[in-house]
Chain A
């Protein structure tokens, strides 16, 4: 269903320009304005005639506790991902190969993906307050891993189902144990596990709702929560705010560009296979 004829070139150009203008330009502008020196940044007339400056970035990084929030984000995202992916791949294998819990379990996982996080924020807050876990990274790791587990299990399960069972049977005939066969299969779906881990990491890196409700003290904050402080401040300091946004956004944008195959397969997987 390719469009042909003299309109093709014209339409191609139109689509490319529209995409660059609508999706490319705002992101580019975020980066450009974050490296504008203050006098250009706050001037009423905008100009592109300036020397890049990192002053907004240094203003953010010099804020007390900000470096700590970078560390918190990295720790929560890394450990949360490890927890979710390790217990998630085991469970995905059990669901795919041993049909544990049957169809109900699989549908249950899908159902859990639909729960709006905000709905559970209050019970989590009260439970963690009783346990003395408010303002700790552990609280964020537990909740973060839990909310990513259904997605991780769903994705890896799909990858395992695609591997023919004959492979398992051949291995069993060769005398391999259940554990051995499981490890063999999981090794074959490493691309799926990596995709799940990338998504898990990005989701945890971006997470704001639980982080802002469960860990809000200066020392416990993650980067998005530190970014959220700009909203409630009396007057927004636009320069540092953009630099802080860029520090949350750019790593993910670079990750998306460099791991495009994983990202695209992860986003489309469940939907295309049904």
Chain B
């Protein structure tokens, strides 16, 4: 009897301290999500915002899904995610291996590399917009010192690899975003966030037991053999986590692209598309339909990862 009542008061105390956060999260996540679903099924625009919202069923979803422009945006977003996360992983891994194998401690240097991770993506985007400007931007000035001609970074000029193809060059660069502007978007993202992967992998490397690595090098394994067959397999969990976090973050990307190209159709990703429906077109119903679709897209990697955490 006593233990039972104790148990009850214990549970009550736990519930009481979790309650404020729970209520807050439910009203700021669950309620807006349900409301978004409601909006997506109704015609809600600036013109009838204060009036009656007519029920239109799945009409707005179909409008989004039938818009060829939407699919271009989806493919560009996926390309941005895979390309930037892939490059970030390569850069982050090389940096982590370099720091781990060359320096005992490099606190200042490590922190210097990490600074960009903490900065506002909008300000970073604007900074690079200035540095990459074609005529006398800093990057082109530096390239000029090496006698490399100016590069039209922030344009949709095709990259040389496809630009030189006379037949399908233009089409290839349009479909696969093989232009300088898209490359700049990806590289700026890599500049800002590969330090995050670097930091996680460095922490992972430092937490590895030293013995197997020493043993391998005594056995005469080369540096790259040790990395490939021993270090990378041991780092697998942390590589998984860092790739997942970065994938989800790059699905959220908006400001850095916005800072470089604003609302321009040629660089739109899903978040900018939603912004366009919402702010530029003031079509809240249509924007909600697109938002529901993007949320479903973000759900796929999240479920995979939560499954992986469970298993």
Contact = CB atoms under 8 A, between A and B. Distances in A.
The answer to whether A and B interact is yes
Interface of A: 1-3, 8, 11-12, 15-16, 19-20, 22-24, 26-27, 29-30, 33, 44-46, 87-88, 90-91, 93-95, 97-101, 105, 107, 110-127, 129, 142-143, 145-147, 149-150, 153, 178, 182, 202, 205-206, 208-209, 213, 224, 227-228, 230-232, 236, 238, 241-242, 245, 248-249, 252-253, 255-257, 260, 263-264, 267-268, 270-272, 274
Given A126-B284, A202-B118, A206-B119, A153 B21 contact: yes
10 contacts: A1-B214, A23-B195, A29-B131, A91-B21, A107-B309, A114-B301, A118-B252, A127-B32, A213-B279, A264-B111
B262 A232 contact: yes
B200 A146 contact: no
A107 B306 CA distance: 7
B130 A238 contact: yes
Contacts of A202: 118
Given A146-B28, A153-B21, A232-B262, A116 B11 contact: no
Given A90-B20, A114-B248, A206-B119, A267 B13 contact: no
A92 to B, nearest CB: 8
Contact of A182 (B17, B203, B207): B17
B204 A272 contact: yes
Contact of A87 (B21, B295, B301): B21
Interface in B67-112: 95, 98-103, 107, 109-112
A122 B33 contact: no
Contacts of A149: 21, 24-25
Interface stretch (B58-66, B121-129, B156-164): B121-129
B141 A257 contact: no
Q: Which 9 A-B pairs have the closest CB atoms?
A: A98-B14, A91-B21, A146-B28, A206-B120, A94-B18, A123-B32, A118-B271, A245-B123, A94-B17
A19 B113 CA distance: 7
A252 B118 CA distance: 7
A123 B36 contact: yes
Which residue, of B119, B191, B288, has the highest number of chain A Cβ atoms within 10 A? B119
Given A206-B120, A209-B255, A114 B302 contact: yes
Contacts of A260: 107, 110-111, 114
Given A107-B309, A272-B207, A209 B254 contact: yes
Contacts of A256: 111, 114-115, 118
Nearest to B131: A26
Interface in B219-241: 223, 226, 231, 237-238, 241
A190 to B, nearest CB: 18
A105 B306 CA distance: 12
A116 B295 contact: yes
B294 interface: yes
A123 B35 contact: yes
A244 B302 CA distance: 36
B116 A120 contact: no
Contacts of A245: 123, 126-127
Contacts of A107: 306, 309-310
A213 B49 CA distance: 17
Contacts of A26: 127-128, 131, 138, 191
Nearest to A129: B49
